[in-house]
């Protein structure tokens, strides 16, 4: 376990999946018009849907059965990570998304090594695999700490940028939950 007893490696699948789901946003127009309108106009409902999607993603992606409370706790942590990641400058977003991808790949390698070590019970080979697995676990832990630091730094950089750009109309709630359209895209 790492970072406040949160198993980041196992739950990163949910964070990665949520970005894939959001990237598939073009399917949103298949919902009925009233649901589309609520999702466009109400940021709180959008974020509630994101939290629910994260919750169900953890349930479906997790290899172990968690209590509903544990799943909710993990969902909230992933939601906070999601919020931090979406409130980044473009450059920091790319750095952090790349870090998440690397953490995910290292996690997959750790799982792969564990499966192989179960199949290969030879002692000399086993010790080398255990050492490699421990190195990867430590690498993953350090990458997670780096990710949290870069997320926080990127969040404050973006907060400062948005605050300076919108001083007169700045709202922390709007900053965190977003708007229905981006002024830079219009």
Same domain, 105 and 59: no
Shared-domain flag, residues 65 and 107: no
Instruction: Tell me, yes or no, whether 185 lies in a domain.
Output: no
Q: What is the pLDDT of residues 15-70, one digit of tens each?
A: 666 666 666 565 566 778 887 788 788 888 888 888 988 898 888 777 788 899 99
- What's the domain range around 60? 1-86
pLDDT in tens, 92-149: 999 999 999 999 899 888 888 887 776 666 555 566 667 888 899 999 999 999 999 9
Answer yes or no: do 31 and 105 share one domain. no
- Judge whether 11 and 78 are in contact, CB under 8 Å: yes
165 and 139 within one domain: yes
Q: Per the structure, how many domains does the chain have?
A: 2
Q: What is the H or E stretch that residue 13 is in? A: helix 8-23
- In-domain check, residue 183: no
For residue 152, being part of any structural domain is answered with yes
Residue ending a domain, among 86, 113, 140, is 86
- Clarify whether residues 96 and 72 are in a common domain: no
- Cα 55 from Cα 52, distance rounded (Å): 5
Model confidence pTM above 0.75: no
Assigned domain for 30 exists? yes
Domain boundary pick from 86, 108, 137: 86
Measured between alpha carbons, how far is 184 from 162 in angstroms, rounded to an integer? 12
């Amino acid at each position: 376990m790492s970072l406040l007893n949160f198993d980041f490696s196992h739950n990163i699948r949910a964070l990665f999946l949520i970005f894939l789901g959001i990237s598939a946003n073009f399917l949103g127009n298949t919902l009925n018009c009233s649901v589309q309108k609520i999702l466009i106009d109400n940021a709180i409902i959008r974020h509630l849907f994101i939290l629910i999607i994260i919750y169900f993603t953890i349930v479906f992606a997790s290899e172990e059965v968690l209590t509903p409370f544990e799943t909710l706790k993990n969902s909230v942590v992933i939601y906070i990570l999601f919020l931090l990641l979406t409130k980044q400058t473009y450059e920091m977003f790319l750095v952090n998304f790349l870090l998440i991808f690397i953490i995910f790949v290292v996690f997959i390698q750790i799982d792969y090594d564990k499966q192989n070590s179960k199949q290969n019970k030879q002692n000399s080979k086993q010790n080398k695999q255990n050492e490699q697995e421990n190195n990867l676990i430590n690498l993953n832990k350090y990458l997670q700490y780096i990710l949290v630091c870069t997320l926080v730094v990127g969040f404050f950089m973006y907060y400062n940028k948005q605050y300076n750009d919108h001083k007169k109309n700045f709202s922390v709630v709007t900053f965190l939950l977003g708007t229905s359209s981006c002024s830079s895209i219009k």
